[in-house]
C-alpha cells in the first residue's frame, strides 16, 4: 500500500485504496489490524546508550590500551609508583571523555521530543484524541492553522490551506495546497496535494487521509538513509591508531633488541641462568613502559574536551569527542539555507508606491527598522504609504507577540507576519487598528484566486475593502492608482510600469504582494462580485527570508581559511542564487544545480562540474 504514488491518484481513488470513509474514518477493530500490519507511527531511534556503555567506549582507543598494558607490566616488575601514575592518566582520560559524551547524549535525548504526543483523529464517526504513535494509514485528520503534521497524508478537502515545509524541503515561503491529482514524476517539493511529517499548517484548514506512517514517511526515508551511513573513524582516531601501532612496534622492537643482545652476550660468556632471564625480562618491560608517552593521551583528551565544551557554549552538540578534531580537516561545508544561513523569518525589504521605491531596514520579526527612499520618507505624513501598510495589516490573519525571553515570534502565515511587522515598524498599533476597523466580511485566499479581500467597518455609514495578492491578479481588479496622495486613472502605461517593477523585484528573489483598496457604503452588498472591482491600486510589498548577519561573517571566515561553503535548499534557483550572492557563497561563473538536473546527470558529468557548483536548489 505504501508504495503507491498517492499524489498521482484522485481523492476517490485514494480513499478506495486505503479502505476508509471520509465521514467516519476507521473503526477500532480496523485500527488494531493496521497497527499490527504497519506498526506504530514513530521513527526508529538509535538504542539509548547507557552510561556504562559510554564509559566502556572510552577504552576502545589503542593508545589507552597500550597505557593499560603499561600499568600491568609496571606493577609486575615492581614499579608501583609508575603504575599508579599511568593508571591515573588512564582514569583521567576515560572520566573526562565520559563526562563530555554523557552530557551530549542527554542533551540530544532532550532534543528528540519534536512531535506532539497526541492528535485529533476521526474514528467511528467521532473526533477523538489519540496518542500520535497510534496513527495508521487510512486515518482521517482535520487540520487547522498552527498544527504540526504527524504523518504523510493526502489532502481530501481544503480551505485556503498553506503549509510551511521548510523543515523538509527548505522552502522559505509557505506552500499553497490543493487536492488535484499530479503527474507520477512530480518531486516531493511540488506535491501540493500532500502534507508531510514534521511540517506545519501556516494558514487555512482542511482534512487529510493518512497514507504513510513511521519509517515509511519522507522523513522516515531520510532517517533510514542517514542511519545506513557508516561514519567510520575520524582522522584523529586513524592517526592515533597509527601512532599507537608505531609506538607499540618501536617499544617492543627496542625492548626485544636490548634483551636479545644481552642474552646473546651472556650466552657467549656461558653465564646465562634463570635469574638473569627474569632480570632481563623485567628490564625489557621497564624499557617498553618508559618509552610509552603517557602524557600524550591526557593532552589529546584534554584538548578535545576543551573543544567540545567550546562548541557546546555555541549551542553545537558533539556526540563523540574525537569528532571535534574532524572540523580541523574540513575543506567543504554543505549547509541548508532556511533557518541556518537565513533567519527563517520573512522580512519586508522593499515597498513600491507612487513611482517611488522604499527600502525597509531591520531583519526578522522584531518590529524595529526604518523606511528609506531616494528622498526621505515620512510614514507619518504620507497618507498613501500609511494606507498601504494599513491594508497589509488589516487584510491579514497573522499576529506578532513577544516571548518571555524577549524574542519576537509570529502566529500564522510567515508572509502575513512580515506585513504585520512592517506596519508595526511604521508606528501602526496592531491591536488598536484591528479594534478601530473591525472586519465584517472576508473573501479568503485560495490558490485559484491568488488574492484575499477583507472588509473593515469605518463608521456606521462607511466601510473599506482591502485586497492583497499576486500583483497581476490584483491589477486586474483595479481601475485607479494612488499617485502621491491623490487617486488617478490606472492607464495601460501605468499598469505596465507596475508589472515591470514587479518583475524587477522578483528578479531579486523577493516575494511580491500587491495591495489595493476601495471605499464602500455600509449598505453596499458584501458579495465578491461587488467588492472586488474598481479597486484603487496602492503599491507593491517585497519580502524575503534574509540572511543572518552572523552567517555572512561565518562565510567570510570560512573563505579566509580556504573552506568552501555550499548552499543546499529546497527553494527555487532564483531565490537560492539571490541569497547565496548576498552571502558571498555564489559569484558570477559559479554553477547552480537543481534536484531535477542532478537526478538526470551521469556520475562522470557530475564529477567534472562538482567543483564549480556552489548552490543546489529544489533538492
Which has the higher per-residue pLDDT, 121 or 231?
A: 121
Per residue in 489-504, pLDDT (tens digit) is: 999 999 999 999 999 9
The torsion of the CA quartet 349, 351, 352, 353, rounded to 10 degrees, works out to -170
For residue 566, what pLDDT is reported? 95
Distance CA 619, CA 612 (A): 18
Can 6-19+120-227 and 347-544 be said to share one CATH topology?
no
CATH number of this structure's domain 332-341+548-617, picked from the four choices 3.40.50.1000, 3.30.930.10, 3.30.950.10, 3.30.70.270:
3.40.50.1000
With beta carbons less than 8 A apart as the criterion, state whether 168 and 198 touch: yes
For residue 455, what pLDDT is reported? 95
Question: What is the number of alpha carbons within 13 Å of residue 342 lying toward its C-beta?
Answer: 28
Other Cβ atoms within 10 Å of 295 Cβ, number: 10
- The average pLDDT across 387-391 equals 96
Which stretch of 135-149, 263-277, 392-406 has the lowest confidence by average pLDDT? 263-277
Give the pLDDT band of residue 110 (cuts 50, 70, 90).
low
What cell was used for 521?
457604503
Active site residues: 336
With beta carbons less than 8 A apart as the criterion, state whether 514 and 395 touch: no
Q: Provide the sign of the torsion angle of the four alpha carbons 570, 573, 578, 582, taken in this order.
A: positive
- The average pLDDT across 258-283 equals 70
- The average pLDDT across 410-432 equals 92
Cα distance from N-terminal residue to C-terminal residue, the chain:
26
For residue 105, what pLDDT is reported? 66
- Is residue 564 classed as helix, strand or coil in its secondary structure? strand
Which has the higher per-residue pLDDT, 320 or 388?
A: 388
Rounded to the nearest integer, the mean pLDDT of the chain is 84
The answer to whether residue 108 scores a pLDDT higher than 60 is no
What is the fold of 347-544? Calcium-transporting ATPase, cytoplasmic domain N (3.40.1110)
Q: What is the DSSP letter of 603?
A: H
Which has the higher per-residue pLDDT, 48 or 60?
A: 60
The answer to whether residue 269 scores a pLDDT higher than 80 is no
- The average pLDDT across 330-334 equals 89
Nearest to 244 by CA among 417, 61, 464: 61
With beta carbons less than 8 A apart as the criterion, state whether 483 and 538 touch: no
The answer to whether residue 82 scores a pLDDT higher than 50 is yes
Per residue in 550-595, pLDDT (tens digit) is: 899 999 999 998 899 999 987 888 888 988 998 999 999 999 998 8
What cell was used for 8?
498521482
For residue 573, what pLDDT is reported? 85
The answer to whether residue 113 scores a pLDDT higher than 80 is no
The answer to whether residue 445 scores a pLDDT higher than 60 is yes
Match 559524551 to its residue by C-alpha cell. 101
For residue 618, what pLDDT is reported? 80
With beta carbons less than 8 A apart as the criterion, state whether 514 and 540 touch: yes
For residue 424, what pLDDT is reported? 95
High-pLDDT (> 90) share of the chain, %: 41
The answer to whether residue 8 scores a pLDDT higher than 90 is yes
Which has the higher per-residue pLDDT, 57 or 193?
A: 193
High-pLDDT (> 70) share of the chain, %: 85
Nearest to 181 by CA among 23, 4, 14, 3: 14
Give the pLDDT band of residue 91 (cuts 50, 70, 90).
confident
Match 582516531 to its residue by C-alpha cell. 237
For residue 2, what pLDDT is reported? 47
The answer to whether residue 115 scores a pLDDT higher than 50 is no
Give the pLDDT band of residue 330 (cuts 50, 70, 90).
confident
Distance CA 266, CA 279 (A): 13
| CATH code given to domain 6-19+120-227 | 2.70.150.10
Question: What is the number of alpha carbons within 13 Å of residue 38 lying toward its C-beta?
Answer: 30
The answer to whether residue 275 scores a pLDDT higher than 90 is no
Exposed / middle / buried, residue 351 (Cβ in 10 Å: 0-12, 13-18, 19+): buried
Nearest to 22 by CA among 34, 9, 13: 13
Segments making up each domain of the chain, as ranges: 6-19+120-227, 51-110+233-320, 332-341+548-617, 347-544
Residues, the chain: 619
For residue 534, what pLDDT is reported? 94
Which whole-number Å values give the CA distances from 454 to 429, 435, 519, in the listed order? Answer: 19, 14, 12
What cell was used for 452?
484575499
For residue 419, what pLDDT is reported? 96
The answer to whether residue 86 scores a pLDDT higher than 80 is no
- The average pLDDT across 116-127 equals 85
- Best mean pLDDT range from 10-24, 515-529, 587-601: 10-24
- Residue 370: CB partners within 8 Å, gap ≥ 6? 360, 361, 362, 425
For residue 276, what pLDDT is reported? 66
Match 524577549 to its residue by C-alpha cell. 406
- The average pLDDT across 390-398 equals 94
Per residue in 540-552, pLDDT (tens digit) is: 999 998 888 889 9
- The average pLDDT across 524-540 equals 90
Q: Read out DSSP for 402-450?
A: E-TTS-EEEES-HHHHHHHHHHHHTT--HHHHHHHS-EEEEE---TTT-
The answer to whether residue 612 scores a pLDDT higher than 80 is yes
Per residue in 25-45, pLDDT (tens digit) is: 999 999 999 999 999 998 776
For residue 47, what pLDDT is reported? 62
Match 504514488 to its residue by C-alpha cell. 5
- Best mean pLDDT range from 108-112, 221-225, 453-457: 453-457
- The average pLDDT across 196-201 equals 91
Q: Are strands 356-360 and 591-594 parallel, antiparallel or unpaired?
A: unpaired
Amino acid at each position: 500500500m505504501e508504495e503507491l504514488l498517492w499524489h498521482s491518484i484522485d481523492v476517490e481513488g485514494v480513499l478506495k485504496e486505503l479502505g476508509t470513509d471520509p465521514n467516519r474514518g476507521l473503526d477500532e477493530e480496523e485500527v488494531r489490524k493496521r497497527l499490527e500490519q504497519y506498526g506504530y507511527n514513530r521513527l526508529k531511534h538509535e538504542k539509548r546508550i547507557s552510561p556504562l556503555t559510554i564509559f566502556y567506549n572510552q577504552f576502545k582507543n589503542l593508545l589507552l590500551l597500550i597505557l593499560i598494558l603499561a600499568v600491568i607490566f609496571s606493577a609486575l616488575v615492581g614499579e608501583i609508583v609508575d603504575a599508579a601514575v599511568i593508571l591515573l592518566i588512564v582514569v583521567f582520560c576515560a572520566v573526562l571523555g565520559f563526562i563530555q559524551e554523557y552530557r551530549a547524549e542527554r542533551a540530544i535525548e532532550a532534543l528528540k521530543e519534536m512531535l506532539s504526543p497526541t492528535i485529533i483523529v476521526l474514528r467511528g464517526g467521532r473526533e477523538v484524541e489519540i496518542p500520535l504513535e497510534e496513527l495508521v494509514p487510512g486515518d482521517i485528520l482535520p487540520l487547522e492553522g498552527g498544527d504540526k503534521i504527524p504523518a504523510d497524508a493526502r489532502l481530501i478537502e481544503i480551505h485556503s490551506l498553506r503549509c510551511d515545509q521548510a523543515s523538509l524541503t527548505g522552502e522559505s515561503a509557505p506552500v499553497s495546497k490543493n487536492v488535484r491529482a499530479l503527474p507520477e514524476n512530480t518531486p516531493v517539493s511540488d506535491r501540493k496535494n500532500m502534507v508531510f511529517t514534521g511540517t506545519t499548517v501556516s494558514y487555512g484548514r482542511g482534512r487529510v487521509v493518512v497514507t504513510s506512517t513511521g519509517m515509511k514517511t519522507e522523513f522516515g526515508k531520510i532517517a533510514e538513509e542517514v542511519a545506513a551511513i557508516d561514519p567510520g573513524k575520524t582522522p584523529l582516531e586513524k592517526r592515533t591508531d597509527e601512532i599507537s601501532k608505531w609506538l607499540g612496534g618501536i617499544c617492543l622492537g627496542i625492548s626485544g633488541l636490548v634483551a636479545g643482545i644481552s642474552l646473546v652476550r651472556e650466552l657467549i660468556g656461558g653465564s646465562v641462568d634463570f635469574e638473569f632471564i627474569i632480570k632481563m625480562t623485567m628490564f625489557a618491560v621497564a624499557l617498553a613502559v618508559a618509552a610509552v608517552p603517557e602524557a600524550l593521551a591526557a593532552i589529546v583528551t584534554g584538548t578535545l574536551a576543551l573543544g567540545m565544551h567550546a562548541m557546546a557554549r555555541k549551542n553545537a552538540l558533539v556526540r563523540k569527542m574525537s569528532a571535534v578534531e574532524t572540523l580541523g580537516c574540513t575543506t567543504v561545508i554543505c549547509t541548508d539555507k532556511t533557518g541556518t544561513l537565513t533567519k527563517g523569518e520573512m522580512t519586508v525589504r522593499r515597498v513600491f508606491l507612487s513611482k517611488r521605491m522604499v527600502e525597509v531596514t531591520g531583519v526578522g520579526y522584531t518590529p524595529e527598522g526604518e523606511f528609506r527612499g531616494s528622498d526621505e520618507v515620512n510614514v507619518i505624513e504620507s497618507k498613501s504609504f500609511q494606507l498601504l501598510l494599513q491594508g497589509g495589516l488589516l487584510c491579514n490573519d497573522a499576529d506578532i507577540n513577544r516571548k518571555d525571553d524577549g524574542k519576537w515570534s509570529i502566529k500564522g502565515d510567515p508572509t502575513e507576519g512580515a506585513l504585520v511587522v512592517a506596519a508595526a515598524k511604521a508606528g501602526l498599533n496592531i491591536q488598536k487598528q484591528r479594534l478601530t476597523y473591525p472586519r465584517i466580511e472576508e473573501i479568503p485566499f485560495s490558490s485559484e484566486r491568488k488574492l484575499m479581500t477583507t472588509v473593515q467597518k469605518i463608521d456606521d455609514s462607511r466601510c473599506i475593502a482591502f485586497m492583497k495578492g499576486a500583483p497581476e491578479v490584483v491589477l486586474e481588479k483595479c481601475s485607479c492608482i494612488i499617485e502621491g496622495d491623490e487617486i488617478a486613472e490606472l492607464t495601460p502605461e501605468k499598469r505596465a510600469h507596475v508589472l515591470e517593477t514587479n518583475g524587477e523585484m522578483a528578479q531579486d528573489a523577493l516575494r511580491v504582494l500587491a495591495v489595493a483598496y476601495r471605499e464602500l457604503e455600509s449598505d453596499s452588498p458584501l458579495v465578491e462580485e461587488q467588492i472586488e472591482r474598481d479597486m484603487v491600486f496602492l503599491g507593491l510589498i517585497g519580502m524575503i527570508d534574509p540572511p543572518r548577519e552572523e552567517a555572512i561573517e561565518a562565510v567570510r571566515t570560512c573563505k579566509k581559511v580556504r573552506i568552501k561553503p555550499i548552499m543546499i535548499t529546497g527553494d527555487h534557483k532564483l531565490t537560492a542564487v539571490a541569497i547565496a550572492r548576498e552571502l558571498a557563497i555564489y559569484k558570477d561563473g559559479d554553477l547552480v544545480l537543481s534536484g531535477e538536473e542532478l537526478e538526470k546527470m551521469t556520475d562522470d558529468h557530475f564529477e567534472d562540474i562538482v567543483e564549480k557548483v556552489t548552490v543546489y536548489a529544489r533538492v
